[in-house]
Chain A
Amino acid sequence: MRRSFVVATFSDARRLMSAVRAARRENFSIYDVYAPYPIHHLDDAMGIRHTRLPWVTLAAGAGGLLSALLLQFYTAVIDWPLNVGGKPDNSTLAFIPISFELTVLFGGVATVAALFLRARLFPGRRERLVADGITNNAFALVLRKRDGSFNTELACSVLRENGAEAIEEKVMDI
Chain B
Amino acid sequence: MCASPVTKFIPPGSGGVPILPPPRWVDGEPALHQITEDIARPLEGRPGKGWWICFSLAFAGLLNLAGMVTYLISTGIGVWGLNNSVGWAFDITNFVFWIGIGHAGTLISAILLLFRQQWRTSINRSAEAMTIFAVMCAGLFPAIHMGRPWDAFFIFPYPNQRGPVWPNFRSPLVWDVFAISTYFTISLVFWYLGMIPDLATLRDRATAGIKKMLFGLLSLGWNGSHRTWARYETVSLVLAGLATPLVLSVHSIVSMDFATSVLPGWHTTIFPPYFVAGAIYSGFGMVLTLLIITRQTMHLERYITMRHLDKMAKMTMLTGMIVSYAYATEFFSAWYSGNLYERFHFINRATGPYAWCFYLMVLGNVITPQLLWFKKIRLNVAALFVLSILVNIGMWFERFVIIVVSLHRAFLPSGWGMFYPTAIDVGVLVGSFGLFFTCFLLFIRFLPMIAMWEIKGVVQQDAAQDARHAALAEASHA
> Which A residues contact B (CB, under 8 angstroms)?
13, 32-40, 42-43, 46, 48, 50-51, 53-54, 57, 61, 71-72, 75-76, 79-80, 82, 84, 87, 91, 94-95, 97-98, 100-102, 104-105, 107-109, 111-112, 115-116, 118-130, 133-137, 174
CB distance from A131 to the nearest CB of B (A): 9
Residue B175, interface by CB 8 Å: yes
- Which among A50, A84, A127 has the greatest number of chain B C-beta atoms within 10 A? A127
Given A43-B230, A97-B175: 6 more A-B contacts, CB < 8 Å = A32-B227, A82-B166, A107-B242, A108-B185, A129-B204, A136-B204
Q: Are A125 and B157 in contact (CB under 8 A)?
A: no
Cβ 8 A contact of A125, one of B33, B164, B221, B245 = B221
Cβ 8 A contact of A115, one of B197, B203, B231, B242 = B231
Once the chains are docked, how many angstroms separate the CA of A162 from the CA of B127? 40
**Interface pick from B79-87, B293-301, B350-358, B456-464:** B456-464
| B-side contacts of A136, CB under 8 Å | 32-33, 36, 201, 204-205
Q: Are A87 and B170 in contact (CB under 8 A)?
A: yes
**Interface pick from B48-56, B211-219, B317-325, B381-389:** B211-219
| B-side contacts of A135, CB under 8 Å | 197, 200-201, 203-204, 222-224
Q: Are A48 and B169 in contact (CB under 8 A)?
A: no
Q: Are B164 and A80 in contact (CB under 8 A)?
A: yes
**Interface pick from B233-241, B366-374, B418-426:** B233-241
Q: Are B170 and A57 in contact (CB under 8 A)?
A: no
Q: Are A98 and B174 in contact (CB under 8 A)?
A: yes
- Which among A35, A72, A123, A136 has the greatest number of chain B C-beta atoms within 10 A? A136
Once the chains are docked, how many angstroms separate the CA of A79 from the CA of B338? 44
Q: Are A98 and B232 in contact (CB under 8 A)?
A: no
Q: Are B164 and A101 in contact (CB under 8 A)?
A: no
| B-side contacts of A54, CB under 8 Å | 234, 238
| A-side contacts of B229, CB under 8 Å | 35, 37-39
Query: How many residue pairs between the two chains, A and B, have CB atoms under 8 Å in the bound complex?
Result: 205
A-B contact pairs, 10 of them (CB 8 A): A36-B224, A39-B226, A40-B457, A75-B169, A76-B166, A76-B170, A101-B182, A108-B190, A119-B231, A135-B223
Once the chains are docked, how many angstroms separate the CA of A137 from the CA of B37? 11
Once the chains are docked, how many angstroms separate the CA of A111 from the CA of B222? 18
Question: How many residues does chain B have at the interface if contact means C-beta atoms less than 8 Å apart?
Answer: 67
| A-side contacts of B217, CB under 8 Å | 123-124
| Binary contact track B188-209/A, C-beta < 8 Å → 1, others 0 | 0110010011001101110000
Q: Which residue of A lies closest to B260 (CB)?
A: A94
Query: Which 4 A-B residue pairs are closest in the complex by CB-CB distance?
Result: A125-B221, A137-B32, A75-B166, A121-B220
CB distance from B222 to the nearest CB of A (A): 7
Q: Which residue of B lies closest to A100 (CB)?
A: B249
CB distance from A32 to the nearest CB of B (A): 5
CB distance from B11 to the nearest CB of A (A): 25
Q: Are B169 and A98 in contact (CB under 8 A)?
A: yes
Cβ 8 A contact of A104, one of B36, B246, B461 = B246
| B-side contacts of A76, CB under 8 Å | 166, 168-170
| B-side contacts of A61, CB under 8 Å | 242
Cβ 8 A contact of B178, one of A34, A98, A121 = A98
| B-side contacts of A42, CB under 8 Å | 226, 230
Once the chains are docked, how many angstroms separate the CA of A119 from the CA of B33? 26
Q: Are B239 and A112 in contact (CB under 8 A)?
A: yes
